[in-house]
Structure 1
Amino acid sequence: MGGEPVRRAGRGGRERVLVAASSLFARRGITATTMEDVAAEAPVSKRTLYAHFPTKEDLVLAQLDHLLGSGYTLLETLARADLPPRDRLLAMFAVRSRPDGVVGGCPFVNAAAEHPDPSGRVHAFAREQKLVMLALVTALVDELGVDAPELLAEQLVTLADGAASRAMVLDDPHYGRHARAAAETLLDHAPRRSRERSGPAGIG
């Protein structure tokens, strides 16, 4: 049958495309997913799909941006003011399955791996989110009074990215417990600033 597919109640075409793209990219990868696949999954006509996203790169970028507001990434947890700094840091290691059950790993790492050109728009967007993550983690480590918080922050984000990648490869949403144990050891034994230097890093 031709014409526009029946719309699902409660969602516009653009949102359905983004949800479909997120699921397909996690299950199949970005490169292996065609625009036609996304249109069929949404479902929308190809005309509607290309009206919202003229190129696949536009769709990938919009899908990554959509994830930032979905609660699926770590950035929202790291920014939560209602949780103590240590709890937010350790929450990085609670690897979560997607609503469709896929253990997809970090979407920004995955996107950068499939768009390896550092000057490309997708790779640059992924890099920006990783730098935002590092800045948030550094600020939280600094709140804990750790001396040289930048060094510990780099170690923690490396552990978090590694845990997410291995959880994806092994299809094990519980894999993050290993990296969490290492993170707790690092946090417990990190040198603290003296009382005279207990303010934010670089002050006092």
Structure 2
Amino acid sequence: MESLRTAADAPRERILAAAATLFYRHGINATGIGELVEVAGVSKRTLYQQFASKDDLVAAYLQRATQSGRLLDRRLEQPELTPRERLLALFDPPPPTFRGCPLHNASVELTEPGHPGRAVIVAYKRRFQERVTEQARAAGARDPEALGRRLSVLFEGATALATSLDDRDAAFDHARPLARAVIEEALPTDG
């Protein structure tokens, strides 16, 4: 893999870019420090000046992932859609480059309860459920909390299955009609 080094990029940014690419493509545990520094175009010393440990780098990578516009749950923010349509848009097929939710993928690998990345994952996933609930409330759901929980579980299941089977379309093709039924059952009929 070629280096991500450009003259304008600071070492920290190159390291985070390399981590984002390698951790998402190969996994956190399968990506070694040697490969990270090679792709980032930095020395090990520079990496450890920027991040005290690989665990700290992982936490920073996950935090960066929560702020990127590439996560599927950004569909909840599409201003041209109604709240009802945003809820259903979560279940549109993912892009061809989809290899699962980076936070979910990391949660499978980070088995140590005290890992700094776990806190990032838990906070983001809880906020995701709150955001789904907010859209359910805006759509007029009779019980927005219940709808938010159900859709969150269905969405997480679809993304995990798509990753496990390496078949992004099948999981979402099956989840979308279920999501539509759950949404329609929870929302008042248009009238």
Q: TM-score range by the shorter chain?
A: 0.7 to 0.9
1:64 has 2:59 as partner: no
Q: Tell me what 2:182 maps to.
A: 186
Structure 2: runs of 5 or more not aligned: none
1:197 aligned residue: none
With 78-87 and 143-152 compared, the bigger mean Cα shift is at 78-87
TM-score after normalising by structure 1: 0.81
CA change 1:11–1:89 in 2 (3 A) is farther
The separation in 1 between residues aligned to 2:75 and 2:187, in whole angstroms, is 25
AA aligned opposite 1:44: V
Q: 1:111 aligns with which of 103, 106, 111?
A: 106
In the alignment, the residues of structure 2 paired with residue 6 and residue 174 of structure 1 have an alpha-carbon distance, to the nearest angstrom, of: 31
User: What is the CA-CA distance between 1:39 and the residue it aligns to?
Assistant: 0.8
* Structure 1 residue 47, shift from structure 2 partner: 1.8
* Displacement of 1:125: 1.4
1:125 maps to 2:123: no
**Residues 13-45 of structure 1: CA deviation (Å, up to 9, x unaligned):** 222211211121122211121122111122222
Aligned residues: 186
Aligned to 2:162: 167
Q: Distance in 2 between matches of 1:163 and 1:96?
A: 10
Runs of 4+ off more than 3 Å = 74-77, 79-83, 94-98, 117-120
Q: 2:42 corresponds to which residue?
A: 44
In the alignment, what sits opposite 1:202? Answer: none
CA distance in 2, matches of 1:7, 1:37: 14
Structure 1 residue aligned with 2:91: 93
Task: Confirm or deny: 8 A CA contact 1:94 1:174 kept in the other structure.
Answer: no
Equivalent-residue separation in structure 2 for 1:116 and 1:46 (angstroms): 25
**Is 166-175 or 178-187 further displaced after alignment?**
166-175
Distance 1:97 1:55, change over 3 A: farther
Contact 1:145–1:192 (CA under 8 A) maintained in structure 2: yes
Conserved? CA contact 2:88–2:176, under 8 Å: yes
Shift of 1:164: 0.8
Q: Decide whether the 8 Å contact of 1:30 with 1:114 is kept in 2.
A: yes
Distance in 1 (CA, whole Å) between partners of 2:148 and 2:73 is 14
Question: Considering only CA atoms, is the larger Rg found in Structure 1 or Structure 2?
Answer: 1
Structure 1 gap segments, 5+ residues each: 194-204
| TM-score, reference length from structure 2 | 0.86
Moved more, 127-136 or 40-49: 40-49
- Provide the aligned C-alpha RMSD in A: 2.3
Shift of the alpha carbon at 1:154? 0.9
Identity %: 38
